[in-house]
Structure 1
Amino acid sequence: RHLCTHSKDCVKTVQRHIWKDYEDLADDVRYTPKYQKLYKRRKETIERVFADAKEKHAMRYTQYRGLAQVSNW
């Protein structure tokens, strides 16, 4: 017991984040058939925009560091 807890009554407590229940709900919804279809569409639309930006508009690498310098570039 001394390896598991240092409390006087030998009870181990677990604390969850205040939004953990909502995070669990979002994870459950993600695996429903409706949202699986939406995620497939995301790969075709949203991710494609980022891929084009990286390949065609030289946004894969930058010569500068920091948001201000990269924004100026």
Structure 2
Amino acid sequence: MTRTTTNNRPSHAVYVVEGEGENAFWTRIGAAWAHEDGDGFNLQLSCLPLTGRLVIRKPRPKTDGELAQ
């Protein structure tokens, strides 16, 4: 059994990305929690995409006037 971190905040955000480069459209669809051993993630998705690719990223800190990624 793989143990997850005890922190309730997700360590990463999950996005579906459609398109490429500056024309890509990113939609946040879930969250990910890194395992304590660093070898995997638990994912919680609010929907399943039919197209595009899944991207898991560490959230960026918010800046004035900007939403966090």
Give the strand-richer structure, 1 or 2: 2
Same fold (TM over 0.5): no
Give the helix-richer structure, 1 or 2: 1
Larger radius of gyration: 1
Q: Normalising by structure 2, what TM-score?
A: 0.17
Q: Normalising by structure 1, what TM-score?
A: 0.17
